[in-house]
Amino acid sequence: MKIDIINATKTIGKATVLKDVALSLEGGRIYGLQGPNGSGKTMLMRLMAGLIRPTSGEVLVDGKRLGTDMDFPPSVGMLIENPAFLPNYTGLKNLELLASLKNEIGTDRIRETLTRVGLDPNDKRRVRKYSLGMKQRLGVAAAIMESPELLLLDEPTNALDDKGVECIRGILRKERERGALIVMACHDGELLRECSDEILKVQNGQVEREDAV
Amino acid sequence: MNLPKLISHDLRCGLLRPRCLLIPIMAALPCWLCHKIAVTAGFNCGWGGYLMYCFMGIEPINILDTMEKTQLPILWLLLISGCLYLNLDYMLNDLSLTGQQIIVRSGNRREWFISKCIWNLLSCGVYFIIVSATAAVFSLFTGGDLSLRCEGAALNILYRGEVDAGTVSSFTVLAVSLLLPYLTVSALSLLQMTLCLVLKPILCFLLSEVVLLVSVYWSSPFILGNGAMGIRSGLLTASGVDPLTVCGECVAIMLLCAGLGTWEFKRSNIIGAKE
């Protein structure tokens, strides 16, 4: 997958949340978004996910324009801000319901993904009984279960313990090897630099490239 | 084509919510008043009578007549507004929660919005079913019959002699106290949901209330609200509002909202209700 953001500016109300962003992102790489709170990292991810439309400029996914040729990228997994699930269903049931929309994967694959993120697929507890960390893991599972070509992860290590962070590291590595285009925002600068092929510095809605160490 | 799956998600998450428990309470108030009137007048009110009273509304008011006391059909407003309030925030709440995952997976904004329109109609349907069930339970407990038919004498007392109908058939009761209010509320609710794409939900709700208030003081089939008042129905009184005009107007508003809403939603930002 290839994403081209061509001079995209986004204004919401009186605030310009993205200013003249020009980027070209390719599959098989991890792009780390670095920047302070409110700098526009999440908005950039929403733009790539098709959740917001640029006020000017355009976003191309494999040459097709988001918003006119398609509403959303055809293969995208995302964890943007807090993971939200149906509280009265188990984690497995939640993922089954989400997966039923695309009908690309079955229960076995979902169980496998749950195990991958460190959750028990046989856990009968409803999501409302989950801890924050478990919800975060479930959010990551929802994002990766269909092996999307574009993976957008906003603070994927939120509320995770060391073991959970290590698990995310492994997942990122595997997904990159698979060829996914991964965009990740994370406040853990060390993790971001360690995992990313390229760092994108976001400041006041503007994006600058910086090669990772 | 993901529409059936999207509708299934909306039915699962948005149809029977805990706040639906408020509906029987709201419906019980006019039923209780109706029962008191029936007891005082010495007749037994049946299911049809309770429903007719719930959606009675108020006789046409001449706002130019300064001698006329200002009146408000509080219970009617409560029942109609109740449904609008219950449906107010589901779409935006869903959009800020699991709905984001759902819509991205569905890949289609148009289908997502159409699904919300269908949910809206079904949700209004559930509201009226619960109101009807409450009236039926009231009828059972107060010794009334479970027939929708309403005796002319009883209707004359309940409607303060404002209508010139004799005994009202089950079909007329169904049309006056369920179908027409349902269509009116569905159209208003869909209008409210569509406006939520560009305005804050509370403003949309207030606008709906303004429409209902205008309808109280302006008897015209073209103002939504009149069609939901039994006392002004053309099926019961010769000078009442034409039910076919009301039906046509409601269907036209619903189609317009679905069309305009889909168009607007195609270019809307999905950033959650709280942002």
Contact list, B107 vs chain A (CB under 8 Å):
70-72, 74
Query: Which two tokens mark B205?
Result: 């709700």
Question: Quick check: B51 and B135 in contact, CB under 8 A?
Answer: yes
Contact B271 A46 (CB under 8 A): yes
Contact B105 A98 (CB under 8 A): yes
Contact B105 A70 (CB under 8 A): no
Nearest to B105 among A52, A53, A101 (CB): A101
What's the whole-model pTM score? 0.90
What Å distances lie between residue A75 and A97, A116, B137, CA to CA? Answer: 17, 20, 51
Distance CA B220, CA A27 (A): 61
User: Looking at CA atoms only, how far is residue B110 from chain A in angstroms?
Assistant: 9
Distance CA A110, CA A95 (A): 7
User: Looking at CA atoms only, how far is residue A68 from chain B in angstroms?
Assistant: 9
Torsion angle, CA of B82/B93/B192/B196, rounded to 10 degrees?
Answer: 150
Q: How confident is the model at residue B166 (pLDDT cuts 50, 70, 90)?
A: confident
Q: Please give the single-letter amino acid code of residue B255.
A: L
More confident residue, B168 or A65: A65
Question: Quick check: B230 and B186 in contact, CB under 8 A?
Answer: no
State the pLDDT at residue B19.
Answer: 84
Q: Look at residues A148, A146, A137 and name the one whose alpha carbon lies nearest to residue A49.
A: A148
- For chain B, helix, strand, coil in percent to 5 are 70, 0, 30
Contact list, B101 vs chain A (CB under 8 Å):
78, 84, 98, 142
Contact B98 A101 (CB under 8 A): no
Which pairs count as long-range contacts for B4-11, CB under 8 Å and 24+ apart, including other chains? B5/A100, B5/A101, B5/B106, B6/A101, B6/B102, B6/B106, B6/B111, B6/B112, B6/B115, B7/B115, B7/B118, B7/B119, B9/A97, B9/B98, B9/B102, B9/B115, B10/B94, B10/B115, B10/B116, B10/B118, B10/B119, B11/B119, B11/B122
Contact list, A46 vs chain B (CB under 8 Å):
269-271
Q: Indicate the DSSP class of residue B166.
A: -
Q: Give pLDDT tens digits for A184-205.
A: 998 888 889 999 999 999 999 9
Contact A85 B107 (CB under 8 A): no
Ordered per-residue pLDDT tens for chain A, 213 residues: 899 999 999 999 889 999 999 999 999 999 999 999 999 999 999 999 999 999 999 999 999 999 999 999 999 999 988 888 999 999 999 999 999 988 899 999 999 999 999 999 999 999 999 999 999 999 999 999 999 999 999 999 988 999 999 999 999 999 999 999 999 998 888 889 999 999 999 999 999 988 544
User: Looking at CA atoms only, how far is residue B87 from chain A in angstroms?
Assistant: 19
Contact list, B269 vs chain A (CB under 8 Å):
12, 46, 51-53
- Of all residues in chain B, the one with the smallest CA distance to A78 is B101
Q: Give pLDDT tens digits for B202-220.
A: 999 999 999 999 999 888 8
State the pLDDT at residue B1.
Answer: 66
What is the ipTM, given to two decimal places? 0.90
- CA geometry: angle A120, A125, A126, nearest 5 deg: 115
Determine contact: A78 vs chain B, CB below 8 A: yes
Radius of gyration of chain B from Cα atoms?
Answer: 20
- Of all residues in chain A, the one with the smallest CA distance to B267 is A53
- The gap between the terminal CA atoms of chain B, to the nearest Å, is 30
Contact A84 B96 (CB under 8 A): yes
Distance CA A201, CA B5 (A): 39
Nearest to B271 among A52, A74, A100 (CB): A52
Q: Which A-chain residues 183-212 have CB contacts (< 8 A) with chain B? A: none
Nearest to A49 among B6, B104, B108 (CB): B104
